Structure 1
């Protein structure tokens, strides 16, 4: 019992301190949480406690639900550039895996490298005051579109891995689509009820609700998405992401409710997932020149996989310099590379050693490329002045 309390205390100390260090060194908190997990479970703790595996899974599911909630389909649709955003993501998810396959590397490794996420891009753009600029909105549009496509690709891979190129895979995808269509209808009905009772909704979404009814309902939704995916034969985290997208689409205005969601997720549950990812990093792998070399090569390939905005600068109505800046910032998909590596290892598509290289790639890309983007953004400001 005392050992469990001590290990829990060490984990929570990291959860509390890491945001301050991340702000000080201007690196993503998730990156430092992965490093902390590697140090903690390789140097101080002998093995992963049973309770930690449960909290890690809860954090994983809630991370994907929040990622789905951040996907604003209405904003993407109103941008007028949705087709170009989709084309950039589509090129990445077709050409990159084929390049890997053509040189004898696992096709799934190319898929993992092609992952796109908004988790790093949005905070960096906010920090630099570019979130409302044309370039900032285009980066967010591509990142959000790419994040949705990333999950859809992982869903297809999961279905075909479980059933092969058979009707079973088609049935799994069909069941998943049907279940989430029903979830959409249920949430639409809930929205109509809320429309008739605005005072009740305001209490949940805006006011200081002492028993946090809304948060309790939302956590239930997050894990209901995982159960729906399980019912369809898919991975739970894919379901939680898709239900997050559905929830975001139905409830467009969430007020302070969204702040509470992020506080629960990023303040408590989600760090357990990233620390858990770090706990799987073996120092023997990290000390291997081969693993480090693979990670460096994959970090470069992440950038290569995101160079397609250079080809579409004209239709996007941005300069080549701005397009290159977009390529740089899109090359920091920390959470999605980690998610892909985790799923790939679970499905047996990549070895634990390659998963370790992917995690190291995610760390390198999420430190190097945002730093380079900051440098480019400051130079552009200086030249503009």
Structure 2
């Protein structure tokens, strides 16, 4: 197909789909993936894989990972204190144990553990905000667990990929080398911001005609992506850590975060999700066991999170609160697709299993926030503070 036609179809889809999604009260990502499936070669044939689409999708993917790191609110992590971090780490540890057991029972390899362990901060944060539960003890417990899970799961997937590609050896030093570079950049940014505050204020000036804030963020992202490639580390980790580094140094980001989201989610990130749909193997659904396998995967992914969230019972949350936390943490979206794509590229996951993971993301991203709203304690009545939280 003519590349110009593909660009036109992508542009129209990126503009129209969020409008339709808001009317249907669905995440725009879900419609973007479904549109990619519908417009892809298996059905309407309006879109086909091409170098142009793949390049734009790759850039959108890197922006998505950068924004995932950029969205981390370190102020909330610090306010939560050591107790909340321990709860979040306990949930993550149980998640990994249950995910490994579930993956083994389903007959999949160890990489599926990381797939099932993922959650979606991008869904957790707006759901908590829309239900006015962000500042409640339950909301904070869910948020910190989601932040830690996303961060450490991506690191784990990157390490797994490095070992898978090249085995154990000196090349693994690229991982600590990347972190050392990140620490140096963090220290440099922090000191420069301290000594030259007026110059750095321009990054967050909503009226800056040169948009130096966006330029600086993109500069950081590409530097870390390039460094990741040079050190044989997954590029998505470099993009994610660039966003994390910026978020750690600059806690009050003002309108810059909204501008970056507008830049990324306005076109390039939707292309990534449409590309996921275009690559979706519709024919795989007709193969024996694929649909039933998808249902089992969705069930396992939900039970893993509910089981891990039982930690909240031990610190004084009610069974209903604990169940609602497990439901919301079972929502998957961007990261699970990213990890699945990594698994396919490394021949750790089959195309059929990737299709099941995409279905997992679609189903849980729609149902989990909806069920959470029904289960979570009403905001109008004061949410009881667990005894352990009150003690802290």
- TM-score by structure 2 length? 0.90
Aligned pair partner of 1:126 in 125, 129, 136: 129
Task: Give the structure 2 partner of residue 92 of structure 1.
Answer: 95
Q: Does the C-alpha gap of structure 1 residues 286 and 298 become closer, same or farther in structure 2, counting only changes over 3 Å?
A: same
2: CA distance, partners of 1:314 / 1:295: 30
Residues 63, 265 of structure 1: 8 Å contact kept: yes
* 1:211 and 2:210 correspond: yes
1: CA distance, partners of 2:272 / 2:221: 15
2: CA distance, partners of 1:93 / 1:345: 20
* 1:167 and 2:162 correspond: no
Which residues of structure 2 form unaligned runs of 5+?
Answer: 384-392
For 1:92-171, list aligned pairs within 5 A. Answer: 92-101=95-104, 104-164=107-167, 166-168=168-170, 171=171
Task: Give the structure 1 partner of residue 352 of structure 2.
Answer: 353
* 1:69 and 2:95 correspond: no
- TM-score by structure 1 length? 0.92
Residues 119, 333 of structure 1: 8 Å contact kept: no
Structure 1's consecutive aligned runs of 4 or more residues displaced over 3 angstroms after TM superposition are 286-289, 314-317, 379-385
Residues 68, 245 of structure 1: 8 Å contact kept: yes
Please report how far the alpha carbon of residue 46 of structure 1 lies from its aligned counterpart in structure 2 after TM superposition: 5.3
Please report how far the alpha carbon of residue 133 of structure 1 lies from its aligned counterpart in structure 2 after TM superposition: 1.8
Task: Give the structure 2 partner of residue 341 of structure 1.
Answer: 340
2: CA distance, partners of 1:46 / 1:213: 35
For 1:44-55, list aligned pairs within 5 A. Answer: 44-45=45-46, 47-55=48-56
1:313-353: CA deviation from partner (whole Å, max 9, x where unpaired):
24443211101000000001211211111000010001111
2: CA distance, partners of 1:214 / 1:275: 28
2: CA distance, partners of 1:232 / 1:354: 30
Residues 309, 326 of structure 1: 8 Å contact kept: no
Which residues of structure 1 form unaligned runs of 5+?
Answer: none
Residues 309, 324 of structure 1: 8 Å contact kept: no
1:129-179: CA deviation from partner (whole Å, max 9, x where unpaired):
222222111111111011111112102211210222x234xx42x322223
1:179-226: CA deviation from partner (whole Å, max 9, x where unpaired):
332233234223322333322222221231112122112112112222
Residues 143, 330 of structure 1: 8 Å contact kept: yes
Q: Does the C-alpha gap of structure 1 residues 299 and 10 become closer, same or farther in structure 2, counting only changes over 3 Å?
A: same
SS at 2:208 equivalent: coil
Residues 180, 243 of structure 1: 8 Å contact kept: no
- Cα RMSD of the aligned pairs, angstroms, is 2.1
SS at 1:107 equivalent: coil
SS at 1:112 equivalent: helix
2: CA distance, partners of 1:95 / 1:310: 11
1: CA distance, partners of 2:345 / 2:315: 38
Residues 14, 267 of structure 2: 8 Å contact kept: yes
Please report how far the alpha carbon of residue 311 of structure 1 lies from its aligned counterpart in structure 2 after TM superposition: 2.7
Residues 66, 241 of structure 2: 8 Å contact kept: yes
1: CA distance, partners of 2:315 / 2:27: 28
SS at 2:40 equivalent: helix
